[in-house]
Structure 1
Amino acid sequence: MANWYHYAAALALAASPSFGAIAQETSAPDTTANSEQVVLEADYVYELRDENSIVAEGNVEALYDGRILRADRLVYNRTTERVRATGNVVIIDTDGSQQFSDEVEVGSNLSDGYAIGYSARLTDGSTIVANSAIRQSDGINAMDQVIYTACPICEAKGQTPTWSLRARRAVLDQETQMISYRDAVLEVMGIPVFYFPYLAHPDPTSDRRSGLMIPSAGFSSKLGAFYQQPYYWAISDSSDLTIAPLITENVNPMLELDYRKRFYSGAININTSITREKDFDSDGQKFGEEKWRGHLYGSGRFALTEEWQWGFGVETQTDDLYDRRYDIDGQGDKRGIYQSQPRRLLSQLYAVGQGDSYYTDVSLLSIQGLRGSDADGSLPTVTPLLFSEKYWDLGDYGFASVNASTAILRRDVGDDSQRVSVGADWSTYKILPGGFTFEPFAELRGDYYQLDQRGIEDDNASRLVGNAGTRIAYPMIRPGKTVDIMLEPEVMAAWGTSNSNDPIIPNEDALLFEMDETVLFDANTVAGYDLYEGDGKISAGLTARAVWKDGPELSATVGRRWRSRPDPSFEKVTNLDGTTSDWVAAATADFGKALRIDTRVRLDQDGLELNRIDTRLSTQSSRWRATGQYYKISERLNPNQEEDEGFFMTGEFRITERYSFIYGQLRDIANDRNARKDFGIAYEDDCSRLELVYSRTELQDRTQGPSENIQIRFSLKTLGQFGSSDFD
């Protein structure tokens, strides 16, 4: 909309002293002319001496400084030094935007002029129409009876644009780069929807500007009627602040702030809110003490050198249900080198260094629990957590590395622990005669623990653990005309230290792990340091892959592990509890966008009963896109001794060219309930998208839930999201 005033620049011929260089239709443009000259072509060119004017008629085309003007007639008055173009006036600017008018007049100084019956098609595809457009010498540009839309307009079809903005008057201030409207009406499908006595926004060609953003309003069973009005403050070229006060019917106002800033070496992002209110449930009923409440989510990362960076992540809130009461997003986002678990807030301060032959990270961690079972002070503070590794390429002798790690855990409630570990690894890779691959390896690690455990006299523990062994594989390939087939049987055999797991050592970092196909051929399959897999073990597996020339690909891995003796430190869920593991397998069928299926299974060692399955499917075509996931865990692996089963599905099916059906469901089959269910309709064209979605969840977290809502979202091209309402 802002580019309408370029017509004046395109008519710079009026100010050019070289205007007398007028060519007849048969003349070729003078490409040697300097940028101040005008190249003019027309069917007829003549002079009106009485009026001291030059007239060009018939297919007039003027070229000046990369801009083109076309018209039926053009008149240049030498006395007034003004140019008037009439009849099908078209101006093509250097950026490709096109402007149309019935009549255009501009002065020689290019600082003032007008256009009658003005319209323009901008580079982003949007269109603006006005009865008249006036450019003043002070940089104020005004249009009367304005219509603006980003929807494509086809006069032949006579279609009404999906949305348009009508205004009695629009003014562009070139100095402030702001566009303001008087008596503006937003029309959807030709029907007036919103009226604005005054509306203003930055010129689309301008830099970031401060101002009001699109508000959100609606009704919620928790908050009642609510209205949130964001204000964007462009503080500087490198920083901004969004201020969004929330006014509600049932509870006190809440203020939300979002601050961003870039530095020469990094950036920070802070999101926070504050209010003074009591607790309230999903029905808006208040209880408890009125006090200050809020949240703070933030992150930052900065470069110290080319190889070293430092950063921080902050996650905290005054109440464990605060984010659910006010529907605050962001819990679970990664804000550093570590990511929090669901319903746990993780704050971290860290430094990371990585070079050609080393890696180091060190961090301070603090965890806040949001689950109902989390006791205050029971989650640890880690001061610090460190890992560092240095490695060497030994040429024909393989690769070697040394590493060090430490973890110091402090609790207000519960036991403290401190660990220091130092280790070394070596491996090499050889190809034997016949095509066998041979990969011997060895690892050794020493751990020292200083513990603070009640009822235990000796609060120190140390151990030396290690493994040595080899991996042998025989990769085979059979090329074909239509499909290539690859098979690779592999065996890993290793012997490690016995009695590696002292009962006095607490398990802090290996609470959730499982031996599956991803670590089947590792000597020590345990993630973390507190548990270690020693003793003798053998793993055997087979990987198969088929790749068709026209694209489809199938792959699968299946295997099993045998141990020399059972270790009571490993529970059944780890798949290391006995001397023989369950069968583990993974398979992928990839047919491109049309279909992809990924499946992982664990079959019981006795009878091949299904202990675990996790299948993910994705598909996409011109009419639909969908993603689904199914999981099932038998009661033998579930700590609750109950079977867990469910599926997740989300997708969109296009019914017609414009209308789509939206569906999503997270189903808890074991408990016969919908953790979440969504369905709705969507309308989309080249300039807008409208969604109407109904959602319901049957989950309940203390005073929050179950709940349901209807969400309406209307997005306009070039104007953004115009509104959103929630009804719980």
Structure 2
Amino acid sequence: MRALNLILLLCAAILMSPATGHAQQAATLVADEVFVTGGTTLTASGNIEVLYDGSRLQAARVIYDEPTDRLRIEGPILLTGPDGEILTAVQADLDPQLENGVLLGARLVLNQQLQLAANQIDRVDGRYSQLYKTAVTSCQVCSGTAPLWEIRAEKVIYDEVAQQIYFENARFRVKGVPILAFPSLRLPAPDNARATGVLIPSIQTGDRLGFGLQVPYYVTLGDSRDVLLTPFLAGNTRTLEGRYRQAFRNGDVTVDGAVSSDDLDRRDGLRGYLFAEGSFAMADGLQLAFDIQQASDRAYLSDYNISDTDRLASVVALTRVTDDAAASASLSYYQTLRENEVTASLPPVVGAAGLVRRLYPAAGGTVTVTASADTLVRYGADEVPTGRDVTRTGASAAWAQDGVTGGGVVWTVTSALTADVYQLTDTTRFHATLSRVVPYGQVLLRYPLVRQNGRTRHVLEPVAALTWSQPYGDTPPNEDSTRTELDAGNLLALAQAPGQDVAEDGMRLGLGVTWTRAGSEGVKSSLGFGRILRSEADPAFTPTSGQSKAASDWLVAGQIRLPRGLTFDGRALLQDDADTTLATARVFWNRPDVQLAGGYIWQAADPATGRTDTVSEYSFDGAVQVTQAWNVGFDTRYDIARDAPARAGIEVGWQNECVRVSLSASRRYVVSTTVQPTTDYGLSVALRGFSARGVRKITPRDCQS
């Protein structure tokens, strides 16, 4: 009975978890021989295997001495933990709780990736493992061959609680050759997802900024906040980039920015940018969101390859949505980065508020009531002498009823009334106060025809929408509908203009037909045609909108979705003589190892919209995992109208079980007073195995290969 108690004590002591206070579970011991000497010493020998709480110990001989309360284990020793950690040793002398002791000729493997081999490992307080004369690597170690990289150190301390690894007198080696020396070094353990410290440095070089080095430094500020600081030192710039993130119980905030002192801008002083976004769930279903974008000058974002956007929008919005109502209020500020545009002309300040309520009267149908207001504020009369400020307040009510005839025709009848009042300042072309009322009426008919051929389904649906509207009152300035375009979304709408300022006059007939096919082989396709016939041409529409004539351009749109993630879609506006005012085409291929996207756009010149030149351009970008080790990413844009490339870039990555290398090159060809042609190169090298949570493991090659 005494021997049995000692065996159970041994099993629990060997594999118990010192960091938990849970009751010990039953352990299983398997050995060729177990005997007790003198009533105080238990010895197990021969193919020992102990299983306890997800852990497994294998050894040649285990001796427990009760008077000294010591545990001696003779190897080879192999201990596998429940989280995948592996410990091997030749010999061990430990207390039964595994909190203090010595292991000789030991190797510790963390996350099945990072190897720490040492002459001796001391266990201290059940938390620290002190390793002496240590070699650390995540590379495959083959006999007689130095690993691709390793860190040699006189002393290494592994803190299991903080998940940190500390090095003393460390030397970084590549294929056995010393490259760098560090008196002290701290790196995160593989299971440490958030640890303060230096991240992967990268080398950047380019025509504008010169040769430079980026060294990101990550700082944790508790469980819900962090900061990322990235100094960038190059031949023509001294830059500090920063990112702050914080999560709250009801939302989150992210702030990105940079401050630079460089030789690129003729003005004295610092340059930089600030982007901030966040969202919060407020009381009573309210949602507060903001997106702030600011730059010190027009060229900063392009100089530092941060963004290609040519206008910055800062928006603060408050919204609330329920089953039958929606309310919103927003305030926006726009900053232009375009070459021949001033911020004051946009207009820069836009405020908007709206309320939509849906009612279901007993008489039938659906009633939608809307109240809205928006204001446009321009400033800087010296920059924009004709700049005007406009405030619109309006309301509308619409009633809709639908049904199906006995012959299968789906009908919808809609009537609506809108009323708007405009207040204008800083203008001589319009009166200070304008008002307008517009009634609408529409009858929409659909006749879906379905044909089933085995597992393949065809649906042919002709549609027709007869719409009438008549504005009464004044004609306000057009601020929100300057760039209209015929598409599938407005072909059958009450109004083809996207905003409130343009009100169409008279009768119009929208006609269209769509064909869709869903095949048994997984192919889905659709094709649609449509146009609008008006009683007379509307001068509010520009030539390239497709709606400037009494008979609009033909709208043609189609899509094909193939199995294995391949999709094609396109849209065009065709005149009766087959001339094109707009054509777009896109292709996508999305698979786990391939992501490709290509696009083409053609737009005719239209000075009325500010487009003085024809737009003709294609783009192609993607990422391909060529093999387990190699991946390639690329992007390109070519301006066909100018017969010149606009942008091109490529990134090649290689990785194995212990290192990840990325090399990139990009070229921007666009020339303007604020954007100059540049070529940039980048190089980053990451050592795998440190803070590797979420990183895909690479199976190491065989030593004989």
Q: Identify the residue that residue 30 of structure 2 maps to in structure 1.
A: 41
Aligned residues: 673
Q: Identify the residue that residue 90 of structure 2 maps to in structure 1.
A: 102
Q: Identify the residue that residue 239 of structure 2 maps to in structure 1.
A: 254
Bigger mean CA offset, 547-556 vs 290-299: 290-299
| Percent of aligned pairs with the same amino acid | 25
Q: Where does 1:509-588 land on structure 2 (aligned, <5 Å)?
A: 509-588=480-559
Deviation at 1:679, TM superposition (A): 3.4
Bigger mean CA offset, 171-180 vs 466-475: 171-180
For residues 612 and 210 of structure 2, what CA distance do their matches in structure 1 show? 42
Deviation at 1:678, TM superposition (A): 2.0
Distance 1:458 1:622, change over 3 A: closer
For residues 179 and 618 of structure 2, what CA distance do their matches in structure 1 show? 40
Task: Give TM-score, length-normalised by structure 1.
Answer: 0.84
Structure 2 unaligned blocks of 5 or more: 12-21, 382-386, 693-705
Contact 1:623-1:654 at 8 Å conserved across structures: yes
Question: Of residues 215, 229, 235 in structure 1, which corresponds to 2:221?
Answer: 235
* 3-state SS, counterpart of residue 319 of structure 1: coil
Query: Letter of the aligned partner of 1:230 in structure 2?
Result: P
Contact 1:500-1:532 at 8 Å conserved across structures: no
Q: Cα RMSD between the aligned structures?
A: 3.2
Q: Deviations over 1:568-626 (max 9, x none)?
A: 1211122221110111111111113352111111111x212233211111235687542
Distance 1:294 1:639, change over 3 A: closer
1:451 aligns with 2:448: no
Which structure has more relative contact order (CA 8 Å, sep 6+)? It is: 2
Bigger mean CA offset, 656-665 vs 708-717: 656-665
Query: Letter of the aligned partner of 1:401 in structure 2?
Result: T
Q: Where does 1:95-494 land on structure 2 (aligned, <5 Å)?
A: 95-123=83-111, 125-137=113-125, 139-150=127-138, 153=140, 164-174=150-160, 177-186=163-172, 195-205=181-191, 208-251=194-237, 253-275=238-260, 277=261, 280-281=263-264, 287-288=266-267, 290-327=268-305, 329=306, 331=307, 342-382=309-349, 384-394=351-361, 397-412=364-379, 413=381, 414-456=387-429, 458-494=431-467
For residues 288 and 497 of structure 2, what CA distance do their matches in structure 1 show? 29
Deviation at 1:656, TM superposition (A): 5.4
Deviation at 1:186, TM superposition (A): 5.0
Distance 1:124 1:516, change over 3 A: farther
Deviation at 1:227, TM superposition (A): 3.5
Deviation at 1:698, TM superposition (A): 0.8
Q: Where does 1:708-723 land on structure 2 (aligned, <5 Å)?
A: 708-719=679-690
Bigger mean CA offset, 671-680 vs 239-248: 239-248
For residues 553 and 191 of structure 1, what CA distance do their matches in structure 2 show? 58
Contact 1:223-1:248 at 8 Å conserved across structures: yes
For residues 38 and 366 of structure 2, what CA distance do their matches in structure 1 show? 93
For residues 190 and 631 of structure 2, what CA distance do their matches in structure 1 show? 31
Query: Letter of the aligned partner of 2:353 in structure 1?
Result: L
For residues 558 and 133 of structure 1, what CA distance do their matches in structure 2 show? 76
Query: Letter of the aligned partner of 1:442 in structure 2?
Result: S
For residues 479 and 162 of structure 1, what CA distance do their matches in structure 2 show? 62
* 3-state SS, counterpart of residue 19 of structure 1: helix
Query: Letter of the aligned partner of 2:451 in structure 1?
Result: R
Deviation at 1:234, TM superposition (A): 2.2
Deviation at 1:309, TM superposition (A): 1.8
Structure 1 unaligned blocks of 5 or more: 1-15, 25-32, 333-341, 722-728
Deviation at 1:159, TM superposition (A): 9.1
Deviation at 1:17, TM superposition (A): 10
Distance 1:627 1:272, change over 3 A: closer
1:62 aligns with 2:50: yes
Query: Letter of the aligned partner of 1:302 in structure 2?
Result: F
Deviation at 1:427, TM superposition (A): 1.2
Q: Identify the residue that residue 92 of structure 1 maps to in structure 2.
A: 80
1:633 aligns with 2:603: yes
Q: Identify the residue that residue 702 of structure 2 maps to in structure 1.
A: none
Distance 1:164 1:617, change over 3 A: farther
Task: Give TM-score, length-normalised by structure 2.
Answer: 0.87
Deviation at 1:537, TM superposition (A): 0.8
Contact 1:500-1:533 at 8 Å conserved across structures: no
Query: Letter of the aligned partner of 2:506 in structure 1?
Result: D
For residues 540 and 304 of structure 2, what CA distance do their matches in structure 1 show? 43
1:612 aligns with 2:582: yes
Query: Letter of the aligned partner of 2:91 in structure 1?
Result: E
For residues 304 and 415 of structure 2, what CA distance do their matches in structure 1 show? 54
Contact 1:517-1:585 at 8 Å conserved across structures: no
Q: Deviations over 1:367-418 (max 9, x none)?
A: 1111121225333244631121011234671211110111111111311111
Distance 1:489 1:159, change over 3 A: farther
